[in-house]
Amino acid sequence: MKVSDNHGEESGWSQPGTFETAFLGPAEWDATFISAADEKADSSRGIRLRREFHLEKGIVSARVYATALGLYELTLNGAPVGNAVLTPGWTSYRKRLLYQTYDVTGMLAAGPNAVGATLAPGWYKGDLGWVGQRNLYGSSTALLFLLVVTYSDVRTHRVASDTEWKTAQGPILFSELYHGETYDAQAEEEGWDKPGFADAGWKPVVARRRDVGALTAQDGPLVDRQELLPARSLFVTPRGERVVDFGQNIAGRVRFHVQGAAGQKVVLRHAEVLDAAGNFYTANLRSARARVEYVLKGNGVETFEPHFTFHGFRYVMIEEHPGNPDRSDFTAVVLHSRMEPSGTFECSNPLLNSLHHNILWSWKGNAVDVPTDCPQRDERMGWTGDAQVFIRTACFLTRSATFYRKWLRDLAADQRPDGGVPFVVPDILADIAKRDSMMRDTHSSSGWGDAAVICPWTIYEEYGDRRMLSDQYPSMKAWVDYIRVRAQDGLIWSSGFHFGDWVALDAKEGSYFGATPSDLVATAFYARSARLVGQAAQALGRPGEAEEYLRLSDRIVEAFRAEFFTPSGRLAARTQTAHVLALAFDLVPDQHRTRCVETLLTLLSENGGHLTTGFLGTPFICRALSDNGRLADAYALLLKEDFPSWLYQVKHGATTIWEHWDGIKPDGTMWSEKMNSFNHYAYGAVGEWLHRVAAGLDCDPREPGWKRLVMRPGPGGGITWAQASHETPYGRASIAWKLDAGRMTVDVLVPHNATARIVLPHASVGNIEAQGAEMTECEDGAEALVGSGRRVFSWPFDKTRVMRYLS
């Protein structure tokens, strides 16, 4: 392959490349699932399996294909296979079980070799959910393994999981995702995963019947150790607890060094925050024990990191230790799915920079194989509502397309035959409901089920991936059709259970449900999803269906206006979220838009300039203001520092986004321990506004995949400079603007094969210094359409305008 540019210059020819395919069908799996015969359903022990095999000379390639019911780790000749953790991840196991492929050519040798595997319950058979349920997918762990070795004469040798393997209980005495791990180093058997080990005391494995038709090649990023954070301090709390502070709330685990006598222990517990008195606080973890216990073997300095668990934490309490620990003995291991960073933001306001930092870290903490709600308590589920409100921010921060592709395939797999969408994906609530009479509704809430439509459409807009849109289109359409059957006259959705504007501050005392009527919220999202399905049909070349769903959306909007607006333009529900959704989803009659905006401002004023919105209103509130000519008011809201606000959390020491505006109250006391996560990214969806409005780096939705950019600086709120960058499918795009000495300067970079519309606020064509750009007047000031490359624009920004936009 070679490339050429628009000046006729050509590159040289690239080197030849190769590729491999996944297995083309179940018939290629000449292996069987194997496990220990005596494994009990209530057991949380780790299980080891091993087998030796002999290879000839002339190995040219070797591949391992592996998966498990539960979680697995593999070794070959004593060395770990791959770097991923928590494999094979969490999917809708009955319909989709992922297998991983490893190149192990350099790990094998002619002669004797050995493979070892360790299994643990994980999501498959371990504790899941807040009601103490387990074995939701099965009651026994099992390994599926196939090694294919190719020799220089093209012959192949295959080593498969079968009844020739042996098994034993290893040093992992207990391992659960919520509760932690107990590891007895005294039970280690040196060389158990190497050839020549004496395994006479090991037992034969048993084969487990399992349909391999659900096996699918890995289709998303694996979870890995992403960062190592040294301990920031080790201190003693007022209660006398020894606590390590890593300075950052994360999802992950702790690696530590220790020296002591055989049988002595290290016991650690994990927490996100300290209480008002400065003591270790774990009540918000609910039933999750988040405890790690290590039993020393007494052989010099020992190093340990748990294998099959993770926790949400900033603080670790040393409950037991054989000596005087030093903070240098402890390292936090950050775990999340492998996604390359793709977006940056920074500005002159350090509190906003801290907020952006918190948004990024909440995304990291909730991207452990599925987009979870929280990483710390007895939940950690793929809540659909949280995922859909945050997805656009996530796509700016990291290359997220394959992460969501994997999860959306599970959403489609778990979608009900009638089109209903589970509250969580993978859907374990349906299983829990069979055993828990308190759970009646487990699917199809507005704003949650709409993830089936909003998420694939957002991925299409961000990456231009028409194939994924096509794959998800039946699921998208089925969701809208599900609503259409249940809506009044097919238009107003007033039936069923809805979370509504979840945990909004205008909720009744003791309630999680915001004051905005469910039928208003449900119909608003219905209108939006119907329109997106119509647009998806257009993008996929389905004109008939496009017309059908766009017309349906128009009819829903008309019905919404008739139902929820009075003839004089008053919105019937006097809540912030009602007005925000009406504005954001273009549901307001044009002649009443000004009144709707003014009423929203009044509602803010009545609350001291603060928001009262919950999970569905908050993501859109700043955009509803700035898109309607109220940029200064959006900044005023964003920059509030007292409760409730984004910066209130920052001022109270948050390093991630909280689930509740008052997770920690002004007096230091906690919100209810029943549901109080300090790493919950939903309110971090304001990151989109920081990137696209404050910094001014956006993509034109009419040309998906950042083929055409919109660069429009958004000065205000006392900010004197801001900058953002994003790795688009075409390369790096960036914007940096600055106000200084009565001038505004904007520095932009447009990637190759892309164009950008540059909008300069309150500029006149005649006074702009521009590099190679033809400026024209526009409603906002001046604009230009430019091609790739870097350009700098500068123009006078007089004192009156500076005061207006910086106040």
Give the mean model confidence (pLDDT) for residues 481-502: 97
| Tokens 């447009």 -> residue | 750
DSSP letter (8 states) at residue 674: T
What is the model's pLDDT at position 807? 44
Give the mean model confidence (pLDDT) for residues 456-460: 98
Which superfamily, per CATH, for 708-806? Maltose phosphorylase, domain 3 (2.60.420.10)
Taking a C-beta distance cutoff of 8 angstroms, is the pair 251, 375 a contact?
yes
* Residue 222: pLDDT over 80: yes
Give the mean model confidence (pLDDT) for residues 766-774: 88
Question: Could you tell me the pLDDT band of residue 772, with boundaries at 50, 70 and 90?
Answer: confident
What's the gap between Cα 637 and its chain centre?
26
Extents of the domains making up the chain: 29-220, 226-337, 343-695, 708-806
Taking a C-beta distance cutoff of 8 angstroms, is the pair 50, 115 a contact?
yes
Write the pLDDT tens digit of every residue in 56-81. Answer: 999 999 999 999 999 999 999 999 99
* Residue 801: pLDDT over 70: no
* Tokens encoding 576: 């912030």
18 vs 136, residue with greater confidence? 136
* Residue 703: pLDDT over 80: yes
DSSP string, 536-553: HHHHTT-HHHHHHHHHHH
* Residue 803: pLDDT over 60: no
What's the gap between Cα 40 and its chain centre?
33
Among candidate residues 379, 461, 688, 727, the one labeled active-site is 379
Write the pLDDT tens digit of every residue in 525-577. Answer: 999 999 999 999 999 999 999 999 999 999 999 999 999 999 999 999 999 99
What's the gap between Cα 381 and its chain centre?
11
Say which CATH architecture domain 29-220 belongs to.
Sandwich (2.60)
* Tokens encoding 323: 């000596």
Q: How far apart (Å, rounded) are the C-alpha atoms in residues 480 and 154? A: 53
Select from 527, 367, 538 the least CA-distant residue to 450. 527
Tell me the angle at which helices 518-539 and 543-564 cross, rounded to the nearest 10 degrees: 160
Q: How far apart (Å, rounded) are the C-alpha atoms in residues 60 and 661? A: 58
DSSP letter (8 states) at residue 788: S
pTM above 0.75, yes or no: yes
What is the model's pLDDT at position 800? 59
| Tokens 């002339």 -> residue | 58
What is the model's pLDDT at position 229? 98
Sign of CA dihedral 315, 317, 321, 324: positive
Give the mean model confidence (pLDDT) for residues 656-682: 95
Residue type, position 672, single letter: S
Residue 769 known to be catalytic? no
What is the model's pLDDT at position 16? 86
* Tokens encoding 573: 């529900």
Q: How far apart (Å, rounded) are the C-alpha atoms in residues 659 and 330? A: 28
What is the model's pLDDT at position 23? 84
Domain spanning 343-695, CATH class: mainly alpha
Residue 732 DSSP SS3: strand
Burial environment of residue 47 by CB neighbours within 10 A (0 to 12, 13 to 18, 19 or more): buried
Q: How far apart (Å, rounded) are the C-alpha atoms in residues 204 and 183? A: 24
* Residue 806: pLDDT over 70: no
The count of other CB atoms within 10 Å of the CB of residue 112 is 13
Taking a C-beta distance cutoff of 8 angstroms, is the pair 716, 801 a contact?
no
Question: Could you tell me the pLDDT band of residue 7, with boundaries at 50, 70 and 90?
Answer: confident
Tell me the angle at which helices 631-638 and 593-606 cross, rounded to the nearest 10 degrees: 30
Question: Could you tell me the pLDDT band of residue 3, with boundaries at 50, 70 and 90?
Answer: confident
* Tokens encoding 695: 């910094």
Half-sphere exposure at residue 264, Cβ-oriented, CA atoms within 13 angstroms: 13
Give the mean model confidence (pLDDT) for residues 9-36: 88
Contacts of 338 (CB under 8 A, 6+ apart): 221, 222, 223, 224, 226
* Tokens encoding 94: 């009955």
Sign of CA dihedral 270, 272, 275, 276: positive
Strand-pairing partners, residue 128, are 133
Among candidate residues 73, 659, 688, 783, the one labeled active-site is 659
Quote the percentage of the chain above a pLDDT of 90. Answer: 91
What is the model's pLDDT at position 44? 97
* Residue 211: pLDDT over 90: no
The CATH number that domain 226-337 falls under is: 2.60.120.260
Burial environment of residue 459 by CB neighbours within 10 A (0 to 12, 13 to 18, 19 or more): buried
Select from 37, 44, 43, 52 the least CA-distant residue to 192. 52
Q: How far apart (Å, rounded) are the C-alpha atoms in residues 85 and 140? A: 20
Q: How far apart (Å, rounded) are the C-alpha atoms in residues 240 and 258? A: 21
Mean pLDDT, all residues of the chain:
95
The count of other CB atoms within 10 Å of the CB of residue 163 is 11
Write the pLDDT tens digit of every residue in 712-737. Answer: 999 999 999 999 999 999 999 999 99
* Tokens encoding 595: 């009144």
Residue type, position 4, single letter: S
DSSP letter (8 states) at residue 584: H
Residue 779 known to be catalytic? no
Select from 144, 194, 195, 172 the least CA-distant residue to 31. 144
692 vs 508, residue with greater confidence? 692
Give the mean model confidence (pLDDT) for residues 88-115: 98
Residue 190 DSSP SS3: coil
Write the pLDDT tens digit of every residue in 144-166. Answer: 999 999 999 999 999 999 999 99
Indicate if 343-695 has the same CATH topology as 29-220.
no
Give the mean model confidence (pLDDT) for residues 674-686: 97
Write the pLDDT tens digit of every residue in 586-643. Answer: 999 999 999 999 999 999 999 999 999 999 999 999 999 999 999 999 999 999 999 9
